[in-house]
Amino acid sequence: MSYETILVEQRGAVTLVTLNRPQALNALNGQVLSELLEAMAAFDKDASQGCAVITGSEKAFAAGADIKEMQAQGFADMYGYDFFAGWDAFTRTRKPIIAAVAGYALGGGCELAMMCDFILAADNARFGQPEIKLAVSPGMGGSQRLTRAVGKAKAMEMCLTGRMIDAAEAERAGLVARIVPAAELVEEAVKTAAAIAGMAPLAVLANKEMVNAAYETTLTQGVQFERRLFHALFGTADQKEGMAAFVEKRPGNWTGK
């Protein structure tokens, strides 16, 4: 499959997706969304693929939703077509996705990074929700995911002032998992993704699903959900293999069953 706004390549069991609209600093327009959704659906269905990485350029992961595409839209267009609702499908991807962020991750770019399962940041990464400067607001989940990631004080300040935070502040605030030198970002993200893709596939799905449940449930419900999925993993052949491999001091050989 070939796309115009993204590049997709398979590196072993890792799908590497590169946002590719350099002339617009990877601004996310409708075409990026539909191509990304198609690529992620194909990734999710492909049994040879275990983890994805989404990245941009060294200057910009993505500088936001496409302002030029939105500029002339009115309320009827936005509300009537439920603009941005398509991104919900991205978050239903069942296999893990790592955001490898260098440069600007602003507005929708920051929101896309937060829709991924975790963010690896280059040391030059900058995150922000500057929509207020355009007299609008986050619209792809930023006010909700940023608040859950960094807490109310910093999220509120970022949304109300549009202030960008650098990689070090983002790491301190819990927005990013780890900072990597910019020149090593993609290789490090692919290496991390390959490690995840090398785990037992059903356990990977279950771990992602239960961590995400923490955002949707009470503690009691979340702990119960975790325990039931943990129990369910004892119905898999890979659990037998994983524990036998530990006892026999050898690597596990997964079947995905």
159 binds ligand CAA (CB under 6 A): no
Q: Which helix (H) or strand (E) holds 104?
A: strand 104-106
Residue 104 within binding range of ligand CAA, rule CB under 6 A: yes
Contact 36, 90 (CB under 8 A): yes
> Residue written as tokens 């325990």?
227
226 is catalytic: no
The residues, any chain, with a CB within 8 Å of residue 110's CB and separated by 6 or more, are: 127, 128, 129, 142, 146
For this structure, is 111 an active site residue? yes
User: Which listed residue (35, 117, 131, 188) binds ligand CAA by CB under 6 A?
Assistant: 131
Q: Which is nearer to ligand CAA, 24 or 115 (CB)?
A: 24
| Active-site option among 24, 65, 102, 167 | 65
Residue 105 within binding range of ligand CAA, rule CB under 6 A = no
Q: Enter the DSSP assignment of 117.
A: S
Which residue stretch of 33-41, 60-68, 172-180, 212-220 sits at the interface with ligand CAA (rule: CB under 6 A)?
60-68
Does residue 231 interact with ligand CAA by CB under 6 A?
Answer: no
Measured between alpha carbons, how far is residue 18 from residues 8, 53, 119, 172 in Å? 6, 8, 15, 27
How many of the chain's residues bind ligand CAA (CB under 6 A)?
21
Residue 140 touches ligand CAA, criterion: CB under 6 A: yes
Longest dimension (CA), the chain: 65
Q: CA-to-CA distance for 87 and 89, rounded, in angstroms? A: 5
> Which residue among the candidates 111, 171, 188, 226 is catalytic per the annotation?
111
Residues that bind ligand CAA (CB under 6 A): 24-25, 27, 63-68, 104, 106-108, 111, 130-131, 134, 138-140, 142
